[in-house]
C-alpha cells in the first residue's frame, strides 16, 4: 500500500490517538490513510487525527491475516546467552509513531545489558523519550519489551524509563539528523 492512500477498514480496530495516548476504536468502514508503516505498526490518519494501529490488527487495514498476540504465543525458554547486538538490532525496529526514525538512531536508548536469571536471561534497558509528558511513551516502552522478547534466549525484559540526562537533538545519530533534514 502506498503511504497516503485511502483504505476502508474491514473491521473495528483498537487504536491509540497520537500524541495523547488515548485508546480509541476505529470502526469498520472508516476511511483511513496510512502516514507511516514502520516497525510492524501503522500510523493512520482518521477523521483529522493520527492514530497508532498495532501490527496484530493489520488485517483490518487489508494487510494479510490477523497476527498472533503475545498471550497466544508459547512460553519462551533460554538455551544460552543473549547476544546484545541482536537486542540493539531489535530496538532499531521500534519507532515513535510521529517520527520516522528508530529509537536507537533518535538517541532514546541509553543502555542495554543482559543478566542471567534463575530460569533464563533478563535484558535491562535504560531509555528516555523525546519529551517527559509524551502520551505515546507507554506504547513505545511496550513495543521495546515485545520486540526485545523476540530476541533468541531473552525470557524477561525490564525497561527503566529515565529523564536524566534529558534527551536532546545532539543525541541523534548523523543518519537520523540527515533523514529528518536537521543538517
Segment 14-61, tens digit of pLDDT: 999 999 899 999 999 999 999 999 888 999 999 999 999 999 999 999
Lowest model confidence (mean pLDDT) among 60-69, 147-156, 173-182: 60-69
Query: pLDDT higher for 66 or 151?
Result: 151
The reported pLDDT for the residue numbered 172 is: 95
168/183 Cα distance (integer angstroms)? 15
Q: Would the pLDDT of 140 be above 90?
A: yes
123/61 Cα distance (integer angstroms)? 33
Helices H / strands E in the chain, number of each: 3, 9
Cα 37-158-51 angle, rounded to 5 deg: 25
Domains located in the chain, CATH noted: 6-61 (2.30.30.40), 84-179 (3.30.300.130)
Amino acid at each position: 500500500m502506498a503511504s497516503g492512500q485511502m483504505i476502508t477498514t474491514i473491521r473495528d480496530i483498537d487504536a491509540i490517538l497520537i500524541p495523547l495516548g488515548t485508546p480509541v476504536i476505529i470502526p469498520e468502514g472508516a476511511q483511513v490513510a496510512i502516514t507511516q508503516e514502520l516497525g510492524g505498526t501503522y500510523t493512520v490518519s482518521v477523521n483529522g487525527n493520527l492514530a497508532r494501529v498495532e501490527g496484530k490488527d493489520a488485517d483490518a487495514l487489508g494487510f494479510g491475516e490477523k497476527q498472533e498476540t503475545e498471550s497466544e504465543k508459547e512460553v519462551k525458554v533460554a538455551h544460552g546467552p543473549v547476544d546484545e547486538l541482536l537486542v540493539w538490532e531489535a530496538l532499531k525496529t521500534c519507532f515513535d509513531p510521529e517520527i520516522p526514525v528508530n529509537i536507537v538512531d533518535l538517541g532514546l536508548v541509553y543502555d542495554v545489558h543482559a543478566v542471567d536469571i534463575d530460569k533464563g536471561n533478563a535484558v535491562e534497558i535504560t531509555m528516555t523519550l523525546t519529551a517527559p509528558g509524551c502520551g505515546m511513551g507507554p506504547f513505545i516502552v511496550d513495543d521495546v519489551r515485545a520486540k526485545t522478547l523476540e530476541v533468541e534466549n531473552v525470557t524477561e525484559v525490564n525497561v527503566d524509563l529515565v529523564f536524566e540526562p534529558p534527551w536532546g537533538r545532539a543525541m541523534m545519530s548523523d543518519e537520523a539528523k540527515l533523514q529528518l533534514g536537521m543538517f
